[in-house]
Amino acid sequence: MTTATPPRATPGGLALGFLTGGVIGGSLAAFIGGCIVGKASLVVTGLALPAAYGLLFFLGTLPRRARDRAAVPRTALAMIESREAVAGEATEVPVRFDLTVAPDDGPAYRVAIRQGVHLSELPDYRPRGIVVVEYEPERPWKVRIVTRPTPAWEERAADAHLDSAPGPAMTGDARKGCVGGVLTVLGLLFGAASVLLLSGADPFGPDASGAAPQPSGTVVSSTTTVTSSTTVTSATGTVALGAGRSMLDQGELRTAVESLTQDAENRRALTVVVQERLLTIVFAPAGGQVAGFDPRALPFDRVAALVEDAGTTLGTGSPQSWQLTADGLTGRLTLRVMVTGDRGAGSLEADGQGNVLRRNGS
């Protein structure tokens, strides 16, 4: 007879429950939050995290599952000490059996199991009745009543008489209890909160509506995204850069403008507003007789120099924010750079080629 003991809730098992809850909560939060705020990285995280965890879990449990598969169940006779059925609407009801199992090659032992039984078969399982069971020698608490035994075992069961084994009955239910459930829920909440906090995504914030951020006089963006988000409607187009990037970076403004005009080669703009991490283009109405200008014709290479020029020559002090506005309403493209500093604000005006026309200091 084996001396194996039934499983109990272990710290490792509880930690695994917490981790599983964390992965579920984190991946769900990442996927849903990513979809709402339009962050591809979050969506990918939401898909990749459970896949990676599932793969690790699969690899980690390979040895145990191989052991389980290799375990050859043995057949034995058992006596029903008691049974307790839970009635319901379904015809198959869960029944808790208290059995005395009598292996051929070892002493009898008591075990409590749960097994579904069809209502019509319930009278077959009376207390003191003999049944045929299958059990795993390495895990004797894993017992299953054989409802369709072979003729040989059927005959043995019909002729058998067994004595009760002393209790208490071992049980195979690894009960984690309330602690396990609470830890899993805590893990779920922890995972969800961690993802939202680390990513900076606020699916319930103002960006959640999908509306384009409105241009403002200052460029103090609260977004921490590392990618850019693009919004194009029939009237406007907006590109918001993530943290660590600037419209003054080499090629950034040109790329942003092209991303808004790639679907309509001949689309003309009325106004282009550029800030540190935000580009907004107000498009001319389609088919209208408005002059406008081609936004791709802006002097991209001159923008950084103009902003630097405005920040250093207008006497506004240490520059805090800037905004470049390109207008073509009058038919002639005009660039206006406004800067604010600790000593005031000033503006600089340039033509379509980026040549400075006039300066207005503070």
Partner 1 sequence: MGWHEWLVLWCAVWGAAALVGVGMSLAGLTKAQRTVRLTGRIERVRAPRHGGSRLGGISVVVSYRDPASGQEVTVTNDGERGEMITAAWEGREIGVSHPRGRPHAYRFSNAPEQPSRGLGRPAFALFLVYVGLVVLVAIDRGWPWALIGSGGPPAILGAVQLPWAVRVRNNRLDRLTAMETVPGRVVAVLKDISVDQDDGPITTITPVVSFTTHQGTAVTAHCTSHLPHPAGAYDRDVTVHYTAADPADFTLDRAAEHHSEKLAVAIHALAVALLAATAVAGAVLLRR
Identify whether the C-beta of residue 77 lies closer than 8 Å to the C-beta of residue 133: yes
**Coil, strand, or helix at residue 90?**
coil
Q: Which residue has the tokens 């040895």?
A: 63
Minimum CB distance to partner 1 smaller for 44 or for 56 = 44
| E strand segments, 103-148 | 109-118, 130-136, 139-145
Alpha-carbon gap, residue 300 to 252, rounded angstroms:
9
1 binds partner 1 (CB under 8 A): no
Alpha-carbon gap, residue 337 to 303, rounded angstroms:
9
CA 15, distance to chain mean position in Å, is 20
Answer for which of 103, 149, 292, 328 binds partner 1 (CB under 8 A) is 149
Answer for which of 56, 152, 198, 235 binds partner 1 (CB under 8 A) is 152
Per-residue mark of binding to partner 1, 35-74 (x: CB under 8 A)? -----x---x------------------------xx-xx-
104 binds partner 1 (CB under 8 A): no
Under 8 Å CB-to-CB from 70, ≥6 apart: which residues? none
What residues between 119 and 138 interact with partner 1 by CB under 8 A? 120-121
Minimum CB distance to partner 1 smaller for 46 or for 328 = 46
Write out 183-240 in H/E/C secondary structure. HHHHHHHHHHHHHHHHHCCCCCCHHHHCCCCCCCCCCCCCCCCCCCEEEECCCEEEEE
Closest by alpha carbon to 43, among 212, 243, 199, 241? 199
Alpha-carbon gap, residue 196 to 26, rounded angstroms:
8
Answer for which of 15, 52, 55, 90 binds partner 1 (CB under 8 A) is 90
146 binds partner 1 (CB under 8 A): yes
CB of 240 to partner 1, least distance (A): 17
Name the one range near partner 1 by CB under 8 A: 25-33, 145-153, 242-250, 299-307: 145-153
Name the one range near partner 1 by CB under 8 A: 55-63, 86-94, 265-273, 324-332: 86-94
CA torsion sign, 42 to 43 to 48 to 54?
positive
148 binds partner 1 (CB under 8 A): yes
CB of 144 to partner 1, least distance (A): 7
140 binds partner 1 (CB under 8 A): no
Name the one range near partner 1 by CB under 8 A: 15-23, 58-66, 118-126, 274-282: 118-126
> Which residues of this protein are in contact with partner 1, per CB under 8 A?
40, 44, 69-70, 72-73, 88-92, 118, 120-121, 144, 146-152
